[in-house]
A and B are shown apart, each in its own frame.
Chain A
Amino acid sequence: MRPYRPLAIPASEITPEASYFQRRDILRMAAAGGLALAAPSLAFGTEMLEAKPGGYDPGEELTPEADVTSFNNFYEFGTGKADPAKNSGQFNPRPWTIQVDGMVGKPAEFDLDALMALGLEERIYRMRCVEAWSMVIPWIGFPLASLLDKVEPLGSAKYVAFETVVRPEEMPEQRGVFQPLPWPYVEGLRLDEARHPLTILSMGLYGKTLPNQNGAPVRLVTPWKYGFKGIKSIVRITLTEEQPPSTWNKLAPNEYGFYANVNPEVDHPRWSQATENRVGGGGFFGSNDRPTLMFNGYGNEVASLYDGMDLTVNF
């Protein structure tokens, strides 16, 4: 076992009980008024994480924290939606380093403190899974561009490749006879997508460090793309000249494209992408179906990245 090293929390930052019990009200207010979140509670394995407001809020009701942290796709911990929360207790995301290399002037390793020093912001983003469900999540993170600036990409770099950790002893689906995916999980972005201001590396949600099931300690968030692009528990980022492989695209290229931009007009071969189910809320009858938006509603910001491209071919 690695020694456990908690982040230093000054007594002044510990939430008073009264504020703790106001959490729901505050969240409701925050959802209604677009306020920055305050006074988070601590869940098992997470710590409070300070962040300044990042100025992104779709103005929609937040998906309850219980749903965000118990309904996940993280195949290293199981293929069922409840598996990651159930099976990730053995995973130890501290200490951690990300190696950044490839076509860069200054390859480097970053530990969690170095990453946090890049300036944490809270941003509320829509999240649309390729399986036609969606959430609204208050992420804490920093623009990926800030990290890329540190390593000085070469002019010849065109793409950014990402890699998830491989730890069979802590990730049950990475051992045994039936392993659902080839490991490590890999993803990729075009360099201009990676540098886009919306693209963040997230280190927390709901005012706390990321729970293991959400990709602790660092994951990618690209809100205009399907959720599987949001690679979790990242250990390596490599700048490349060629388009890097991405796990789902390699597995089923007719079902999952490299770009994976949210697009209600391009169906998955086995289901429609025209609508989505907003996770959380009141069972069958309170269930919340809504039309899916082009680029998940971020078209104003990102559509120009794809000018002149046929999005039915480059899906």
Chain B
Amino acid sequence: MQLPTLPKRYHAASIWALYALGLLPAAWTFYLGATGQLVGNPVKIFEHLLGEWALRFLILTLTISPIRDLFGVNWVRYRRALGLLAFWYVAMHFLAYIVLDKRLAFDVIVEDIFKRWFITIGMAAFVLLIPLALTSNRWSIRKLGAGWVRLHRLIYPIAAVGALHYCLSVKVIGPEQLIYAGIIAVLIGWRLVRPRFMAMKRGRRPQYGKLAAEIPRTD
């Protein structure tokens, strides 16, 4: 299977287009909510939309390396943008919660964070994302070296916690929650079998060559 790749001269522009496109759902829904076009409970609709897009971008961030492993297509150049979009959506989700939903009533917010554990873990995931966002630049990668890779492995527990936060926030866990949780479970599960898969993939090629040479001629 061959996935499409862009000519190199469009790479930078495509990354900026991804940022613009990625922020569009938030901007559009904010516009609808601010102008009174969201029916019912506009604050909750906006808040939940931001949370769902945060999960979508977390998922997309985690699919980049399996796509490279399985299909040989390198989209790593988009991973920083996807990860940062996830971070910005989580940040906006948090801001919508404290500003629009709780109207900066800090006593209520603090009580929520310590008393309601789906909010506690959601907050924890947000806090853990901050160092990843701050070190998402070349200077940090160079500076931190192997430590950078270790630090950014935090994305796995963050994604798992994000899915759990979503499941615990609803009255009845339905197909939407199970789909997000399932995709994230598969993407984390992939990391566990990946070393074996890669060894197989790398190990076999030369072996096949050798075997072919050794097959006795039958003519």
Binding site for B on A (CB under 8 A): 66-67, 70-71, 75, 79, 81-82, 131, 133, 178, 180-181, 251-252, 269-272, 274, 277, 279, 281-287, 289
Asked if B175 and A178 sit within 8 Å, CB to CB, the answer is: yes
Known: A283-B34, A284-B34. A82 touches B175 (CB 8 A): no
Smallest Cβ-Cβ distance to A285: which chain B residue: B34
8 Å CB interface, B124-177 against A? 168-172, 174-175
Q: List 23 A-B contacts (CB under 8 A).
A: A71-B39, A75-B172, A79-B170, A81-B40, A82-B39, A82-B40, A133-B40, A180-B172, A252-B171, A270-B169, A272-B108, A272-B112, A277-B41, A279-B40, A281-B36, A282-B36, A283-B33, A283-B36, A284-B33, A284-B46, A284-B100, A286-B36, A287-B42
**Residue B77 interfacial (CB < 8 Å):** no
8 Å CB interface, B97-122 against A? 100, 103, 108, 111-112, 116, 118-119
Smallest Cβ-Cβ distance to B175: which chain A residue: A178
Binding site for A on B (CB under 8 A): 32-44, 46, 100, 103, 108, 111-112, 116, 118-119, 168-172, 174-175
Q: Which residues of B contact A251 (CB under 8 A)?
A: 172
Partner of B39, one of A67, A79, A272: A67
Asked if A283 and B38 sit within 8 Å, CB to CB, the answer is: yes
Asked if B40 and A79 sit within 8 Å, CB to CB, the answer is: no
Asked if A277 and B108 sit within 8 Å, CB to CB, the answer is: no
Asked if A181 and B172 sit within 8 Å, CB to CB, the answer is: yes
Interchain nearest-CB distance for B121 vs A (Å): 12
Asked if B116 and A133 sit within 8 Å, CB to CB, the answer is: no
Asked if A277 and B111 sit within 8 Å, CB to CB, the answer is: no
Asked if B116 and A270 sit within 8 Å, CB to CB, the answer is: yes
Known: A178-B174, A270-B168, A270-B169. A284 touches B42 (CB 8 A): yes
Interchain nearest-CB distance for A3 vs B (Å): 34
Complex: how many Å from CA A70 to CA B38? 11
Partner of A81, one of B41, B111, B170, B174: B41
Complex: how many Å from CA A75 to CA B43? 22
Interchain nearest-CB distance for A1 vs B (Å): 30
Contacts A71-B41, A81-B40, A279-B41 aside, 15 further interface pairs with beta carbons under 8 A come to A70-B39, A70-B40, A82-B39, A131-B171, A133-B41, A270-B116, A270-B119, A274-B108, A282-B36, A283-B34, A284-B34, A284-B100, A285-B34, A287-B42, A289-B103
Complex: how many Å from CA A79 to CA B176? 11
Q: Which 9 A-B pairs have the closest CB atoms?
A: A71-B40, A283-B36, A282-B36, A180-B172, A178-B175, A284-B33, A283-B42, A283-B33, A81-B40
Q: Which residues of A contact B108 (CB under 8 A)?
A: 272, 274
Smallest Cβ-Cβ distance to A81: which chain B residue: B40
Q: Which residues of A contact B172 (CB under 8 A)?
A: 75, 79, 180-181, 251
Complex: how many Å from CA A267 to CA B170? 16
Q: Which residues of B contact A70 (CB under 8 A)?
A: 39-40
Complex: how many Å from CA A284 to CA B116? 24
Known: A79-B172, A284-B33, A285-B34. A66 touches B39 (CB 8 A): yes
- Chain B interface, DSSP helix/strand/loop, else mixed: helix
Q: Which residues of B contact A285 (CB under 8 A)?
A: 34
Complex: how many Å from CA A131 to CA B32? 23
Complex: how many Å from CA A205 to CA B192? 57
Known: A81-B41, A181-B172. A270 touches B100 (CB 8 A): no
Q: Which residues of B contact A269 (CB under 8 A)?
A: 116
Smallest Cβ-Cβ distance to A252: which chain B residue: B171
Smallest Cβ-Cβ distance to A177: which chain B residue: B175
Known: A79-B172, A272-B111. A277 touches B116 (CB 8 A): no
Q: Which residues of A contact B174 (CB under 8 A)?
A: 79, 178, 180
Interchain nearest-CB distance for A85 vs B (Å): 10
Q: Which residues of B contact A277 (CB under 8 A)?
A: 41, 43-44
Complex: how many Å from CA A178 to CA B46? 26
Q: Which residues of B contact A271 (CB under 8 A)?
A: 112, 116
Complex: how many Å from CA A82 to CA B40? 9
Complex: how many Å from CA A251 to CA B172? 9
Complex: how many Å from CA A270 to CA B34? 27
Interchain nearest-CB distance for B116 vs A (Å): 5
Q: Which residues of A contact B118 (CB under 8 A)?
A: 270
Q: Which residues of B contact A81 (CB under 8 A)?
A: 40-41
Interchain nearest-CB distance for A11 vs B (Å): 35
Q: Which residues of B contact A252 (CB under 8 A)?
A: 171
Complex: how many Å from CA A91 to CA B119? 38
Complex: how many Å from CA A270 to CA B169? 8
Q: Which residues of A contact B44 (CB under 8 A)?
A: 133, 277
Complex: how many Å from CA A284 to CA B96? 10
Q: Which residues of A contact B36 (CB under 8 A)?
A: 281-283, 286
Complex: how many Å from CA A82 to CA B41? 11
